[in-house]
């Protein structure tokens, strides 16, 4: 099951990374319990998913915590690259809301250098079949059944891995699932593992952020196995704003953005854009192997987000919440304390995200201002 490609060709310019047509499948999407009020975080980013609305939207979900696993096999640009991706019927607020694996899959689908294998718990689902019609291979497997991961990784030269603590809110389970994928990749001789990791908040700040810390422990385990890996850290997703629960209409008619960052700036990017950055990492394995990359398109405060939204969506007016992370922790819904701790960590700790490296990987990455302009109608549809 060893990799079939031993080298990567680095393009002389980034034009090779522009979207190109190819027959590929789709990748892992984060899905989170609706009890979290539509708010789920990943890195300095929040990922949102509402299960019922997602099904209505017909989006595919990747519960990578124990279910989603994408693997990509990178080859010389003139050869097909084999990519395995695990998917499950998912629930997201809108078909335009992509989580990490979905963004990666979309980018790979547009590049004829790749082939995609969809690994799903439900290979007979309509979405899996639709991906198969687009040229993807569909295989059934689960992170909770490590014996199924070997066939999922067979002949895959690379794998993009995202774990999801939120489905069960079970720290140990999330870590074990990540380790299971790492073991399977090691046994299969995968040449390039790209793992979506996060900071070890407990070690850095002295208090736990379990969905951060679980990923950090998986990263440590992968390193101990000497896996040929690249570790990536995502920022806040602009697509979060396509979720109506993120923005609350007040009695005076203005809209409140509910992220309690207390004036601190946070990195952000479009998760769809970052799929192309991941694609560039796969296409240039030798350049990015054994490196850590933090993504960012810009670093803004929530008030700056509000000003940009107000500019493009006028006459609607937006403002940042005055809620603190401490108060957020006490809201009482399942996951509130975890999310509040995440906001607190992101406020007091400067997470390592690099706009320069992100633009090196994908020069067309959009600023928040550009993204809002591009998605004006979709944003308006989430309001009122």
The pLDDT tens digits for 189-231 are: 999 999 999 999 999 999 999 999 999 999 999 999 999 999 9
Beta bridge partners of 60: 89
Interatomic CA distance for residues 354 and 219, integer angstroms = 19
Strand 255-257 to 137-140 pairing = unpaired
Residue 110, CA distances (Å) to 53, 135, 324 in order: 27, 12, 42
- Higher per-residue pLDDT: 369 or 29: 369
Q: Does 100 reside within a domain?
A: yes
Q: Does 189 reside within a domain?
A: yes
Judge contact between 155 and 4, C-beta under 8 A.
Answer: yes
> Which H or E run contains 247?
strand 247-249
Say how far residue 343 (Cα) sits from the centre of its chain. 18
pLDDT at 118 over 60: yes
Mean pLDDT for the chain overall: 77
Interatomic CA distance for residues 51 and 277, integer angstroms = 28
pTM of the model: 0.76
* CA angle, 12 then 82 then 61, to 5°: 105
Q: Does 154 reside within a domain?
A: yes
pLDDT tens column, 271-292: 999 999 999 999 999 999 999 9
CATH assignment at residue 161? 3.40.50.720
Rg over alpha carbons for the chain, rounded to the nearest Å, is 19
Q: Does 197 reside within a domain?
A: yes
- Tell me the pLDDT band of 244, cut-offs 50, 70 and 90: low
Phi, psi values for residue 65, rounded to 5°: -50, -45
Phi, psi values for residue 254, rounded to 5°: -85, 170
Q: Does 73 reside within a domain?
A: yes
Q: Does 129 reside within a domain?
A: yes
Strand 292-294 to 229-233 pairing = parallel
Compute the Cα dihedral for 233, 66, 86, 80 and give only its sign: positive
Count how many domains the chain has: 1
Q: Does 29 reside within a domain?
A: yes
Judge contact between 191 and 324, C-beta under 8 A.
Answer: no
Q: Does 47 reside within a domain?
A: yes
pLDDT tens column, 145-189: 999 999 888 888 888 898 889 888 999 999 999 999 999 999 999
Judge contact between 360 and 284, C-beta under 8 A.
Answer: no
Residue 332, CA distances (Å) to 27, 322, 327 in order: 33, 18, 10
Largest CA distance in the chain: 62
pLDDT at 328 over 90: yes
Judge contact between 218 and 195, C-beta under 8 A.
Answer: yes
> 171-188 vs 210-224: helix axis angle to the nearest 10?
30
Query: Residue 343, exposed/middle/buried by CB under 10 A (0-12, 13-18, 19+)?
Result: buried
Interatomic CA distance for residues 72 and 193, integer angstroms = 8
- Tell me the pLDDT band of 112, cut-offs 50, 70 and 90: confident
Interatomic CA distance for residues 384 and 37, integer angstroms = 17
- Structural domain including 142 reads 20-238+269-295+352-365
Tokens at residue 265, please?
């700036």
């Amino acid at each position: 099951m060893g990799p079939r490609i031993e080298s990567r060709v680095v393009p002389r310019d980034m034009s090779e990374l522009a979207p190109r047509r190819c027959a590929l499948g789709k990748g892992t999407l984060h899905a989170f319990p609706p009890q979290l009020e539509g708010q789920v975080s990943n890195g300095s980013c929040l990922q949102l998913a509402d299960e019922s609305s997602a099904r209505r939207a017909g989006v595919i979900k990747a519960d990578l915590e124990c279910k989603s696993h994408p693997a990509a096999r990178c080859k010389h640009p003139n050869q097909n690259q084999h990519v395995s991706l695990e998917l499950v019927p998912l629930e997201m607020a809108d078909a335009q809301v992509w989580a990490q694996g979905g963004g990666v899959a979309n980018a790979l689908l547009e590049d004829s250098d790749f082939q995609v294998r969809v690994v799903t718990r439900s290979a007979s689902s309509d979405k899996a079949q639709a991906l198969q019609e687009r040229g993807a291979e569909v295989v059934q497997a689960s992170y909770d059944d490590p014996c199924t991961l070997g066939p999922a990784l067979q002949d895959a030269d690379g794998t993009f891995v995202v774990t999801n603590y939120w489905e069960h809110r079970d720290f140990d389970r999330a870590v074990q699932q990540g380790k299971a994928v790492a073991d399977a990749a090691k046994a299969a001789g995968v040449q390039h593992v790209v793992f979506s990791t996060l900071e070890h908040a407990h070690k850095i700040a002295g208090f736990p952020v379990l969905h951060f810390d679980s990923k950090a422990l998986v990263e440590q385990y992968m390193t101990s196995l000497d896996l040929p890996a690249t570790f990536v850290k995502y920022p806040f997703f602009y697509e979060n704003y396509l979720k109506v629960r993120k923005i609350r209409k007040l009695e005076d008619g203005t809209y409140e953005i509910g992220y309690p960052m207390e004036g601190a700036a946070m990195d952000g990017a479009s998760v769809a854009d970052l799929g192309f950055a991941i694609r560039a990492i796969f296409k240039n394995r030798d350049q990015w192997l054994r490196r850590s990359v933090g993504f960012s398109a810009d670093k803004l405060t929530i008030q700056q987000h509000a000003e940009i939204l107000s500019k493009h969506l006028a006459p609607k007016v937006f403002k940042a919440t005055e809620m603190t992370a401490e108060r957020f922790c006490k809201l009482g819904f399942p996951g509130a304390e975890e999310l509040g701790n995440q906001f607190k960590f992101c406020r007091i700790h400067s997470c390592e995200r690099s706009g320069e490296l992100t633009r090196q990987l994908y020069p067309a990455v959009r600023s928040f201002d550009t993204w809002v302009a591009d998605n004006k109608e979709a944003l308006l549809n989430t309001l009122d």
